[in-house]
Amino acid sequence: MSRIQLPVIQGESKLVECTSCGRCCTYVGIDINAPSRPRYASDILWYLYHENVYVYLDGDGEWSVHFETRCRNLGPDLLCGVYLERPHICRTFDNRSCEVNETAAGASSFSDPGAFLAWLRAHKQRVYARIAKAHVPSALRSQARTERSVRRQAVARKARIEP
């Protein structure tokens, strides 16, 4: 008897409800300039030198800096204590498009300078070259080189394995 390959149909994944997550109430995110110029790239480095800060690149190419800090009005039950009087910005949040439920292709998150520099070196080589000597400590320059060579080695290994 021969086997028939049947397509796998995946059901729609359930959305994480705000009342079971509250992620958007644990940070403040502010739009920033993309690292298209040395000044903007060095600004991102400065953000990442601080604790409880990360930089997010969404799937649409928009950049933002996020400061991890819990809203004073978020209760232990993950409910908003001022929901009816909440600020306008809170009213724009929607669990259908939040980072927890919408995993966008191309999104990246950087919580340390080394990871950002490795990304910058791979994606914005001219910008990286312009800031490397004047704005990047030598330890971070070598860390970015190391991460890049590790990625290259992994790609080379994968190319040798795949027929």
pLDDT in tens, the chain (163 residues): 667 776 666 656 688 887 788 888 999 999 999 999 999 999 999 999 999 999 999 888 999 999 999 999 999 998 999 999 999 999 888 877 777 776 667 788 999 999 999 999 999 999 999 998 888 887 777 665 555 565 666 666 656 665 5
Radius of gyration from C-alpha coordinates of the chain = 21
Sign of CA dihedral 6, 9, 10, 11: negative
Q: Record the pTM.
A: 0.72
Q: Give the integer Cα–Cα distance in Å for 37 and 40.
A: 5
DSSP 8-state class, residue 113: H
